[in-house]
Structure 1
Amino acid sequence: MLPIELLTKIRDLQINSQHSFFYKGLFPSSRVNTVLGLNRPDDNIFFSLSVIYVLQGLVGVLTEEEKVMVKEMEAALLPNLRYYTNKPERNSYNFWQKSKGKHFPNGHVLNKWSKFQLPDDIDTTSLAQMVVGASYQDALKTKRILPHYANLYRCRIKNGHKQLSKYKAYSTWFGKDMPIEFDVCVLCNYLLWLHRYGFEVNENDQDCISLVVETIDESLYFQSAFRSSPEYPKIEIILYHLARLASITPFVDAVKAKLIQDILLVYDHVEHPYAQMLLQSALLKLGVKRNVNRQSILQYVDTYWWFTAGLLSVYSNTQVQRVAPKSMFHFRFVCPAFNYVLVFENMLLNKTK
């Protein structure tokens, strides 16, 4: 399949009518729990932002026809962001729509309880502001409020890797009553945002960087992918995020060689074709070439999950922490358009690197 054919397929997955569960301009996704037999259409903004973020990063190597298609997809998506914004004084965004009952969309139980409504998060906010091209001043509003949601500001993190609890890094969540949670992939996206806007690195930012550097230096994701990244607990996804950060910013230059070594280690043993493709993309971003079997990759785009909502991941009780990684307590999120975008990116990286 040619890149233009794949991009056309991605565009065709974007909703072009409001006569559906999804708003016009969104890329459909679903949340799945195979243990409980659940599969629900999900109208989160996160995946749609992720699709456009990756495509925007490839504009420099696209044909004119492909650039036009990306601009059209971007224009169709952006009007939806108003449904996912929360407090204008901090310009933050939510994974789901903020209106009452819009969390766990298309569900039957959890969306009836306000206690299950997620607070805004740094991950979605960082992607949204980069995709929409928020002004420096608008982004600065967010930057100024972030220290209020850092570890050790009001409480100490009680889960994750214990050796990282010393860092005054940012929690994933803006929620005042939400426990502190570190996620190395979320912090990678935050640091991409920090680099994009050129903000001065403060104490909390430096601790975010130090946390990511120590995670790589000690290969903590090999101890537990879930403790390193409760939202993205797959080793290939963690390494992809770290490689993307290393390829765009200087923040982890000191451990870039170690990161490459770890990616190669996983690459040599991984069996899942889609996971191997992601690792190849990570290596290509870092200037290392490896071959990948592309024959069967596309058959996984409808099932490969990228993101998970762990219902127990923020709790510190020892017994709860033991069962928190179990699939029964997770909703896995699948977005075919985003999975196609990662294949599209891989094709272009193979052509240009």
Structure 2
Amino acid sequence: MQQEIVDMRIFVLLTGVLISGIFSRSYAQSDLVSFLLRRIASRQMMYDSFYHTGMFPSYRFYAPFPGKPKHDNNIFFTALTCYTIRQLKPWLPDSLHPVADSILQRAASAYPFYQKPQHPLTYNFWPINPPEVFPNSVLLKPFRYINALPDDADDASMIWLALHPPDSIILAYHAYMAQYANTIHQPIRNTYRTYKHLPFYSTWFGKKMPVDVDFCVLCNVLTLFYSYRIPLNKYDSASIRWLNEMIGSRRYLSDAAYISPHYARPPVLIYHAARLWQTAHPEWMKPYIKQLQTDAIRCLQHTNCAMDSIILYTSLMRLGAKPEVMMQIDPDRIEAIEQQPCAIFFEAGFYAMLRNPFKRWFIPLGFIKYYFSSPAYVDALLLEYILTYKFNDN
């Protein structure tokens, strides 16, 4: 155990070897912050027939043929990018606040296109009028009306975090979520048997949709409620218990795709846990901080993916382990980071809704998976890393 937490300088050097050629030349930090924020702003759509004004383009990759991406007009990456910028704004120079405000204001105009008038507290992953299912897919387009996805807790929670509305809206959303928790309409059929009757929050709001639990989605939901200091109810407590036991048993490493079918990779799960910890330092997470640090370091040792390295370093700092040396990021090579095939933050797998044992059987099969990425969000993660390093004093 004494070897588990080692000198952070070693990991800076290690990462430099693994992703050499991407992080190299030294630039003034203030120039790089300005460069990244303005680069994000330049990607925001002003007008397009496919994307709504204010959105950031994102791409969908079919797992067996990842070299052929399709544009995907989901709202999720716009919300992720804007939430990140909102969180970073206090650390930005005053001169860049107008740029950040402009990004947030333009994005706000796009969110209503993903919200049904009869459901004002929730949002959908894809546009709702007309409904979309895997846009730009010739094979799936005819099924968009009968197979349209219900609204989901991940998009809704991230959009509310990006918008930061009044407390009354989040209190109403909190009450609404309880109506779709596990066991309210039906019990979950695709998680560990021990938790079949635990009333945690489901990912989906549709009554006919199978109940689905996801590690990262619950982290995002609780990040929202902790941010607003919402009094916890039994559904929050059940969600916390499930997360607590997934972290305590290290299933975010050993069974990541099973407990988080929409994110599926240990570095991304660790990133979500660390973000939740930074939000509120909940008491139940305290016993696991050293463990999460250790596992983040282990993931760093085995990755050659720039985005994973960035989110793992950010996670370590959020968990209280600040490296002595900062990785130098070359603006001329940021595009290489954005376009790495591993820069995948989110995935859609048809196995996620299958009941046991079929869910586990289908997890390894690539032909039923799609990967999603967004260059603007990768830029936001780079910006987050730089500012976290600068202002995180541990």
Query: TM-score, normalization: structure 2?
Result: 0.84
What displacement does 1:89 show? Answer: 5.0
Per-residue deviation, residues 145-173 of structure 1 (Å, max 9, x unmatched) = 22221112222222234444342101111
**Aligned equivalent of 2:249:** 218
SS at match of 2:351: coil
Corresponding position of 1:125: 156
Would you say 1:75 and 2:105 are equivalent positions? yes
Residue 328 of structure 1 corresponds to: 367
Check the 8 A contact 2:214/2:262 in 1, yes or no: yes
Partner of 1:141: 172
In the TM superposition, residue 195 of structure 1 has moved relative to its aligned partner by 1.1
SS at match of 1:3: helix
| 8 Å contact from structure 2 (residues 53, 109) kept in 1 | no
Alignment partner, residue 318 of structure 1: 357
Q: How far does the alpha carbon of each residue in 1:82-119 deviate from its partner, in whole angstroms, 9 at most, with x for none?
A: 11112545511111111134232222122321343111
Give the Cα–Cα distance (whole angstroms) in 2 for the partners of residues 349 and 149 of structure 1: 36
Amino acid at match of 1:4: S
- Give the C-alpha shift of residue 67 in structure 1: 1.3
Going from structure 1 to structure 2, the CA distance change for 1:107 and 1:152 (only over 3 Å counts) comes to: same
SS of 1:242's equivalent in the other structure is: helix
Aligned match of 1:259? 292
Secondary structure in 2 aligned to 1:39? Answer: strand
1:41 is paired with a residue whose SS is strand
Structure 2 letter corresponding to 1:265: R
Q: In 2 relative to 1, CA 34–155 (structure 1 residues): closer, same or farther, beyond 3 Å?
A: closer
Aligned-partner Cα distance in 2 for 1:225–1:71: 36
Higher RCO structure (Cα 8 Å, ≥6 apart): 2
In the superposition, relative to structure 1, how do residues 120 and 66 fare at CA in structure 2: closer, same or farther (>3 Å)? same
- For 2:195 and 2:230, the matched residues in 1 are separated by 24
SS at match of 1:149: coil
Q: CA deviation at 1:218?
A: 0.7
Q: Name which of 7, 23, 26 aligns with 2:55.
A: 26
Mapping of residues 155-166 of structure 1, within 5 Å: 155-166=186-197
Deviates more, 1:61-70 or 1:160-169: 160-169
> Residue by residue, what CA displacement relative to the aligned partner does 1:224-271 show, whole Å, maximum 9, x if unpaired?
110121111111010000000011113323432332232233233333
- Which amino acid letter does the alignment assign opposite residue 118 of structure 1? L
Residue 306 of structure 1 pairs with residue 345 of structure 2 = yes
The answer to whether the 8 A contact 1:89-1:141 is kept is no
How many Å separate the matches in 1 of 2:73 and 2:86? 22
In 2, are the aligned partners of 1:311 and 1:324 still within 8 Å (CA)? no
Alpha-carbon separation, structure 2, partners of 1:83 and 1:285:
34
Residue 305 of structure 2, aligned match among 240, 259, 272: 272
Secondary structure of 1:308's match? strand
Determine the structure 1 residue equivalent to 2:128: 98
Do the aligned residues in 1 keep the contact of 2:258 with 2:360 (CA within 8 Å)? no
Question: 1:288-299 to 2 correspondence within 5 Å?
Answer: 288-290=321-323, 294=328, 298=334, 299=336
- Picking from 241, 248, 270, the partner of 2:272 is 241
| 2: CA distance, partners of 1:208 / 1:10 | 34
> 1:350 matched to which residue of 2?
389
Most deviating of 49-58 and 84-93: 84-93
Amino acid at match of 2:352: S
Query: Take 2:189 and 2:316, find their aligned partners in 1: how far apart are those partners?
Result: 33
| Bigger Cα displacement from structure 2, 300-309 vs 33-42 | 33-42
**Contact 1:277 / 1:346 at 8 angstroms: preserved in 2?**
yes
Distance 1:270 1:308 in 2: 19
* One-letter amino acid of the structure 2 residue matched with residue 143 of structure 1: H
Residue 202 (structure 1) aligns with: 233
Q: CA shift at 1:31, angstroms?
A: 0.8
Per-residue CA deviation, residues 284-309 of structure 1 (Å, 9 max, x unaligned), is 11220235755687312134111111
Does structure 2 conserve the Cα–Cα contact (< 8 Å) formed by 1:277 and 1:292? no
Cα pair distance change 1:325/1:116, threshold 3 Å: farther
Q: Which runs of 5+ in 1 are unaligned?
A: none
Percent of matched pairs sharing the same residue: 26
1:3 aligned to 2:3? no
Quick one: distance in 1 between partners of 2:146 and 2:326?
Answer: 45
Q: How does 1:162-201 map to 2 (within 5 A)?
A: 162-201=193-232
Would you say 1:64 and 2:94 are equivalent positions?
Answer: yes
**What value does the CA root-mean-square deviation take over the aligned residues?**
2.0
Name the SS of the counterpart of 2:60 in structure 1.
strand
Give the count of matched residue pairs: 352
